[in-house]
Chain A
Amino acid sequence: MSLTESFRQRTTPQLQLGNRFRALPRSAKWSLSALLIAALYLTPYWPDVPVLGWIINTPGTSFENVLTDQIMMFILVALGLNVVVGFAGLLDLGYVGFYAVGAYTTAVVTSGQFTLPWIAALPLSVIMAMIAGVILGTPTLRLRGDYLAIVTLGFGEIIRITANNSNWLGGPRGISKIARPPSIGPLQFGVLNAKPYWYLGFTVILIVIFVLTRLENSRVGRAWAAVREDEDAAELMGVDTFKFKLWAFAIGAAIGGLAGSLYASKVGFINPDNFQLQLSILFLAAVVLGGTGSMYGVIMGGFLVAWIPERFRGFSTRRYFVFGVVLVLVMVFRPQGIIPRRGAAAGIAKKGESDV
């Protein structure tokens, strides 16, 4: 048995599933993906499906709202934070700050004295969050590890406290009457029906996945991974580490801002309490639980962190006990996360067995 064969035998079941999918003919891949995407678009109807419905439904609260106000946001945020923490290896404890910048931008420009349409507010929020990322990153990305984490922690708090103390940001009372997305035909973005928000949000998630997959599989993704693995070596191999770290920060922030903007226009009302430090910790938990650096992992992580507390709402305050137990169990039995990133689990072969 050659060395490479013995490495392959240590692969985890998930990755073998991934390999099996990749081995399928093109047509089968496309139809399977299309089926999966269609099923996911129909998530709001899952509680009506036997068995699955019982598992997924959130007793005592509307699953639709949990899906759009919690799960959708957590998945988007986990995807964004994963760029910073998972791809580039920069620990960010203040990610909620970018989420808040996105939400507040949408709130300020669509309610009260400015009344920009939603379609203009969304990209503006993304750009503002991105600018916030660059402003925070430029002076701080010289720091590493723990030091960066503390600085970002401070940033998240600064944003929340600034909002709390600024009248033009509504102060502690917050901002209401935030614009909703424009209704198109049967897609009515109102208060009663949350389904259209999911169709919109899931489309955004798909676009984000597409963009991030492109980046991950390019020199940009490799530069990020190199910085994560060994920053000094990366720079000596010609990687402009500062530039790529700043890009990771900016792209991560942009996705955070996107999530914040969608959240604000869904709930229609925000105040500083929506952006507590605890949220940053939960965002990070979603990334680590799902599998730092693995996009499908962090989607799973985002879903679980948002869904578990709602699923076990019947346990009253003890629902967080269930949540805690799940976190501990996953970390004990799968320290690399539920779906680990390639390379993190073992020496994984991408090609077929025949090429050795």
Chain B
Amino acid sequence: MSEVLLSVDQVTMQFGGVTALDNVSLHINKGEILGLIGPNGAGKTTCFNVITGVYAPTSGTVTFDDKSLLGLKRFQITKRGIARTFQNIRLFPDMSAVENVMVGVDAHSKTSVVGAILGIPRSRREETESRERAHELLKFIGIDEYAEVAARNLPYGHQRRLEIARALGTNPKLLCLDEPAAGFNPAEKQELNELILKIRDQGYTVLLIEHDMNVVMKISDRIAVLDFGRKIAEGLPHEIRDNPDVIAAYLGVPDDAA
């Protein structure tokens, strides 16, 4: 049995009278790609937001690396080792690509305000290392030639990739990708698949929200399915493909069968 990195236990998330997540439990093993799928409004992004500390769940626990994440601030969760991208791109538009990634790398920087003013050796060293690491990551995702271009002037696909690089900058144990292939054509999706597999092969664990079944089925090691805030299935891709509940959730149920 592989080692569990993150486990979400019986998490319920209510907004007023709306239950976005209903007693959801799932876990992610070290080194795997877990695909999180479900129809629109199923609670996938809410699940992400609970994991990354954007929302505090109404009940339930989130445990990462054997420690509870509840009550931690968002930036503390990031420092513990969870990084994410956003469904709608949320880069720092006026900053250059390399600076965007450096913000992520800085998550573990120890340079203080005073240290930066005095230009002490540690602060200088961290600055150089941060820039080098950011360039490495830009090379890794394949857009280093755009390092000095403001993020908002990057082509759409590059912006999506830059978000991944920025998240990797925080040196996460778990990388959460929220619909990274949204708006991509088939060729771009193929490239993205390869990138995500490459990221896993580097030793990162990946939680992937994706609409496109082809993407999810191809690259996920396991898949969890949400529908109306409940987890309706979890398993290997071929199990999910043939699961009648999943088919019903996606395609609907004929009247006579229901």
| A binding-site residues for B, Cβ under 8 Å | 3-4, 7, 211, 214-215, 217-220, 222-223, 225-226, 229-230, 232-241, 247, 251, 341, 343-344, 346-351, 355-356
Contacts and interface: CB of A to CB of B under 8 A. Distances in A.
B96 A350 contact: yes
25 contacts: A219-B106, A219-B111, A223-B103, A225-B103, A226-B92, A230-B90, A230-B93, A233-B91, A234-B92, A235-B74, A236-B74, A236-B75, A237-B75, A237-B83, A238-B75, A238-B79, A239-B106, A239-B107, A343-B94, A343-B95, A347-B150, A347-B153, A348-B148, A350-B96, A356-B145
Nearest to A343: B94
Contact of B90 (A215, A232, A239, A241): A232
B119 interface: yes
Contact of B84 (A223, A236, A343): A236
Contacts of A348: 96, 148, 150
Contact of B116 (A218, A229, A238, A349): A218
A211 B117 contact: yes
Contacts of A238: 75, 78-79, 104, 106-108, 170
B17 interface: no
A241 B75 contact: yes
A236 B103 contact: no
B146 A4 contact: yes
B109 interface: yes
Interface in B76-106: 78-79, 83-84, 86, 90-96, 99, 102-104, 106
Contacts of A232: 54, 90
B113 interface: yes
A344 B116 contact: no
Nearest to A211: B117
Contact of B94 (A3, A239, A344): A344
Given A229-B92, A347-B150, A219 B116 contact: yes
B125 to A, nearest CB: 12
Interface string B48-76: 00001010000000000000000001110
B88 to A, nearest CB: 10
B7 interface: no
B9 interface: no
B117 to A, nearest CB: 5
B113 A220 contact: yes
A344 to B, nearest CB: 6
Contact of A349 (B90, B99, B148): B148
A214 B117 contact: yes
Contacts of B145: 4, 355-356
A237 B119 contact: no
Q: B interface, how many residues as a size bin?
A: 35 or more
Nearest to B104: A237
Contacts of A230: 90-93
A237 B107 contact: yes
Nearest to A248: B113
Given A238-B78, A351-B148, A233 B90 contact: yes
Greatest chain A CB density within 10 A among B103, B109, B111 is at B103
A217 B102 CA distance: 12
Contact of B153 (A215, A251, A341, A346): A346
B106 A222 contact: yes
B127 interface: yes
Contacts of B149: 4, 7, 347, 349
A276 B73 CA distance: 39
Interface in B4-23: none
A249 to B, nearest CB: 12
B93 to A, nearest CB: 6
A247 B103 contact: no
A154 to B, nearest CB: 27
A236 B111 contact: no
Given A211-B117, A219-B111, A234 B148 contact: no
Given A215-B117, A218-B111, A223-B106, A236 B78 contact: yes
A348 B150 CA distance: 7
Contacts of A211: 117
Contacts of A346: 150, 153
B126 interface: yes
Contact of B109 (A217, A219, A343): A219
Contacts of A341: 94
B174 to A, nearest CB: 13
A87 to B, nearest CB: 12
Interface in B146-160: 146, 148-150, 152-155
Contacts of B108: 238
Contacts of B113: 215, 220, 247, 251
A222 B117 CA distance: 14
A241 B104 CA distance: 13
A218 B78 contact: no
Contact of A214 (B90, B92, B119, B155): B119
B205 interface: no
A347 B166 CA distance: 18
A161 B126 CA distance: 46
B220 interface: no
Contacts of A219: 102, 106, 109, 111, 116, 126-127, 130
Nearest to B147: A351
